[in-house]
Structures are given as C-alpha cells and as structure tokens.
Amino acid sequence: MTEEQLKVRNALNGLDAGLVEDMLAHGRVLEVPAGAELLKEGGYVRELPLVIDGLVRVYIGHEDKELLLYFIRPSESCVMSFSALLEHAPSRINAVVERPSILLLVPEPKLREWLRSHPSLNELFFRQYNDRYVDMLRTVEQVAFGDLPTRLLDHLRRLKEVTREEVLDVRHAKLAQELGSAREVITRTLKKLEREGHLEQLPGGISLKR
C-alpha cells in the first residue's frame, strides 16, 4: 500500500470499504501545487475531485474581484462541481488550490454507478450540501448586511478555521481581491481592527486575538 493510497483510505473512512477500493481502482490520485486552477467558470466537469489532503477555495468572480463561496477541506468534495457534472452543465464557479493538495478524481460514469449502489456516498453529499448551504448563506448575509470591518474579520476567522494556522500568511492584495475591495481600503481596515484589539499584524502575517 502506497502512502497516497493510505491517505485516501484515511480521508474516506466514512464510506464503505468496498467503495473506497473501487474509487482507488477507477479514480486518479493527483498531487496539485498551490495556486493551480482546478475549474474555471464556464468549463465542464468530467471528473469529480475529492480532497484527500490540502485545501481548495471555491469562488465566483467578476474582472479582478472575487466572492468566496466556501473552502473544500480533506474528506470533502465540491457540491457545485458535483451538480454541474451530473447535469452536464457548465460550471458556475471557480476552484483554485490554496495549498499543496492531494486529490482523488472520480470519473462521471463510475460516480453515477456508485450513487445508485452505495448509500454512504449519497449521505456524504447530502451532508456537504447542507454545510455548503450554510457557508454560502453566511457569505450572502455578510455581503448584504455586514460592513467591511465585520466582513474582513469574519473572513480571517474562516481562514483560521480551515487552515488551522495561528498566524495567517495572507497578503492585503489577496484579501482585497477576495472581498471585492481595494488593497488600500483593506490596509486601513486592518489597522482599525488592530487598534480595536481584534488582531495583530506580524512580519509573518496576521494573528487573531479573539
């Protein structure tokens, strides 16, 4: 058993053991570097990615602005890609690798077969549909009702939650892109949040205080 196969089994241990073996036999395990674009809006999904290790960011974009929808962590997949694949519809989202990741790519014909024969796979996607719905609802609420300091602080907390890092190595320009703002505005807002005691800006990144 290779190290990659062991990681796949550990990440998917909530699924039927026979299903995981079939996934390894018919899917592709792929190592992907940080920054790699997995899916672009308008593209078609031929293989469904399951994240075995690493982190993937899913967003919608317009010109140089983005709106984060959700992150895909180990043992999870992208429900928007899942929907596009089953419907043979163009993708409505973009997906990019946030940190070096290991993915298991599952071909569409086998996925349809497994959905019919393995209830545990259906349960996995039902749970993730609920989780992603909550994520996107939170994003909509922040955009509709939250001011920029609140949105920025919430975004940083989400980053800390998914990365599990005490110091977030994230650039002001990237935060501006993800929040649909300007870098100068983000810089001023970070200074304001720092004065209020919510965070500390360190040479290595941003540390949240509470």
Domain holding 124: CATH number? Answer: 2.60.120.10
* Dihedral angle over CA of 87, 76, 115, 47, nearest 10: 50
Tokens of 149: 């300091």
Tens-digit pLDDT profile for residues 14-36: 899 899 999 999 999 999 999 99
Joined together, the tokens standing for residue 74 give: 């180990």
Is the domain of 23 the same as that of 122? yes
Contacts of 157 (CB under 8 A, 6+ apart): 208
Claim to verify: residue 20 and residue 112 sit in the same structural domain = yes
The reply to whether 80 and 169 lie within a common domain is no
**153-206, pLDDT tens digit by residue?**
999 999 999 988 999 999 999 899 888 888 999 999 999 999 999 999 999 999
- Count of helices and strands (H, E) across the chain: 8, 9
Amino acid occupying residue 94: N
Same domain, 119 and 196: no
Indicate if 57 and 127 belong to the same structural domain: yes
CATH no. for residue 184? 1.10.10.10
Each residue of 100-111: pLDDT tens digit?
Answer: 999 999 999 999
Structure tokens that stand for 95 in this block: 């997906």
Domain range holding 120?
3-143
Q: Are residues 39 and 134 in the same domain?
A: yes
Asked if residue 156 and residue 81 are part of one domain, the reply reads no
DSSP bridge pairs for 129: none
